[in-house]
């Protein structure tokens, strides 16, 4: 066996990228959190990263980003909340869905809330029933693409 290589047939765990996580986590609270949120979403596919991020004291503050004035920040915050979903996220996500007026943010919010499984069901059914189809000018390109 060569030095530095695991024995064949043995599984090794990739080290938790602690320094990178800390750097990204700090960037979330900076002036432009969009890219940091997106990268954290990718890293949160790992259960160890989820556990680490959910244990951070600022974790509940992620919910406040659902009200950020920048749609891409709201979208990426919803994606990260969906990846890290905790029961306490449900009310923040429901409120954000009720108030969201940017069409491309809404699917991320709905998918994040759906991580709550059965608990989200009644709200999602009610939302789907009362949501009127959109007919705003910016939707025309999407409607045309669907029609073709």
Write out pLDDT tens, residues 107-120.
999 999 988 767 78
Percent of the chain with pLDDT over 70: 78
Rounded to whole angstroms, how far apart are CA atoms 68 and 96? 10
pLDDT value at residue 118? 79
Nearest-Å Rg of the Cα atoms of the chain is 19
- Band of residue 129 on the pLDDT scale cut at 50, 70, 90: confident
* 11 sits in which H/E element: none
**Cβ distance 104 to 78 under 8 Å?**
no
CA distances (Å), 89 to each of 3, 58, 59, 146, in order? 46, 13, 10, 32
Residue-wise pLDDT for 4-19, tens only, equals 555 565 656 667 678 9
For residue 144, pLDDT over 80 is answered with: no
Residue-wise pLDDT for 68-110, tens only, equals 999 999 999 999 999 999 989 999 999 999 999 999 999 999 9
What's the predicted TM-score (pTM) here?
0.78
27 token code pair: 């960037």
């Amino acid at each position: 066996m060569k030095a530095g290589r695991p024995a064949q047939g043995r599984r090794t765990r990739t080290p938790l990228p602690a320094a990178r996580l800390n750097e990204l986590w700090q960037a979330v609270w900076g002036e432009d959190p969009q890219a940091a949120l997106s990268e954290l979403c990718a890293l949160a596919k790992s259960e160890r990263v989820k556990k680490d991020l959910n244990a951070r004291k600022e974790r509940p503050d992620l919910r406040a980003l659902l009200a950020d004035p920048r749609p891409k920040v709201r979208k990426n915050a919803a994606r990260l909340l969906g990846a890290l979903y905790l029961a306490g996220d449900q009310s923040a996500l429901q409120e954000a869905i009720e108030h969201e007026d940017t069409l491309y943010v809404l699917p991320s919010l709905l998918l994040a809330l759906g991580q709550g499984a059965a608990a989200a069901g009644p709200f999602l059914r009610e939302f789907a029933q009362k949501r009127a189809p959109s007919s705003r000018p910016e939707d025309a390109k999407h409607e045309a693409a669907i029609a073709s």
